[in-house]
Amino acid sequence: MSEERKKVTIRTLMKKKEASEKIVWLVVYDYPTALLADEAGVDMVLIGDSLGMNVLGYETTLPVTMEEMLHHTRAVVRAVKYAFIVGDMPFMSYQPSVEEAIKNAGAFLKTGCDAVKIEGGAEVADRVKAIVDFGIPVIGHLGLTPQKVSMLGGYRLQGKTAEDAKKIIEDAKALEEAGAFGVLIENTTAEVAKLVAEETDLIVFGIGGGPYCHGQLLLAPDVLGIGKIRPWFARTYVNLRELILNAFRRYCEEVRKGLYPAEEHTRHMEKEEYEKLLEMLGKK
């Protein structure tokens, strides 16, 4: 008999970490994708600010607003029954002040999120502490932090040197001390995430962080082959781009050739009514 599926909570995630069961996390931005991700059995979903590139057509995550994030978060929350839902704090939703950080983290919780994710280490520790103090669970985000893409000089691999790796490990410790329960490590050498997992009690999630993490995150558009930026670490499980293109091309062709709509997509008036109508219009 299969076990009854329950809503994933922080306790579930902690237990999975303790049992060395890998945690599956997926970035989704909309109702239909979230519905399928939840049905497929992912443990967690993130409404990522990569929404900017993958859905809204921006070049980076920087223009994404709280309003845009909340709009998409609400759609995801309406779809998800079981997965743990994380809202991604967009650029300038937590940087200006501790108060802004609390207010905006709270706005994600009000939509139905279970936690928020914040980019940065020691420099955001006061924001993380304040948010956690108000009962909002936080996941940090280190390594390649896309909101700092300009300062990092592009989407480059992080933690290549001992100094850089040490800084990431120290930042993880600062996040743990501030009360975060997890940290996402993006686009780094695998040794960084391994050491963060050894040196802290955080649940360590990786997206291009290597195999030693407790959980893995990927973006639904990358899994499906329709992502805007194809990161080196992503695995594409289906080439939806080709399937969608073919479907759209066939639709264009069939409309232009008069093959769609066919008889099965057409509804007719009763013959009698039609005759009456023609008569009324003086066409008979």
Nearest to 222 by CA among 258, 180, 187: 187
* From 67, 100, 186, 263, the catalytic residue: 186
Max distance between CA atoms of the chain, in angstroms, equals 89
Q: Which member of 25, 42, 44, 48 binds ligand KIV (CB under 6 A)? A: 48
**CB nearer ligand KIV, residue 89 or residue 109:** 89
The Cα–Cα gap between 253 and 250 comes to: 5
Residue 39 amino acid letter: E
Q: What are residue 46's DSSP bridge partners?
A: 27, 86
* Complex with ligand KIV: residue 131 or 219, whichever CB lies closer: 219
Nearer to ligand KIV, 32 or 261 (CB): 32
Contact, 26 vs 217, CB < 8 A? yes
Residues 167-206 touching ligand KIV, rule: CB under 6 A, are: 184, 186
Q: Judged by CB, which is closer to ligand KIV: 88, or 176?
A: 88
Q: How far is CA 269 from the centre of its chain?
A: 48
**Binding residue (CB under 6 A) for ligand KIV from 34, 75, 207, 213:** 207
Report d(CA 156, CA 231) in Å as an integer: 10
CB of 267 to ligand KIV, least distance (A): 44
Q: State which of positions 209-238 bind ligand KIV (CB under 6 A).
A: 217, 219
Tokens 């006061």 — which residue?
Answer: 126
270 in catalytic set: no
Stretch that binds ligand KIV, among 44-52, 92-100, 248-256, 273-281 (CB under 6 A): 44-52
- For residue 174, what are the β-bridge partners? none
Among 27, 138, 174, 195, binds ligand KIV (CB under 6 A): 27
Applying CB under 6 A, the site for ligand KIV has a residue count of 10
- Per CB under 6 A, 37 contacts ligand KIV: no
Nearest alpha-carbon partner for 8 in 222, 208, 210, 203: 203
Residues for the chain: how many in total? 284
DSSP-assigned beta bridge partners for residue 31: none
Task: Provide the 10 A C-beta neighbour count for residue 264.
Answer: 5
Cβ–Cβ < 8 Å for 188, 208: yes
Q: Does 23 bind ligand KIV (CB under 6 A)?
A: no
Tell me which of 68, 88, 171, 222 binds ligand KIV, using CB under 6 A: 88
- Positions in the binding site for ligand KIV (CB under 6 A): 27, 48-50, 88, 184, 186, 207, 217, 219
The residues annotated as belonging to the active site are: 186
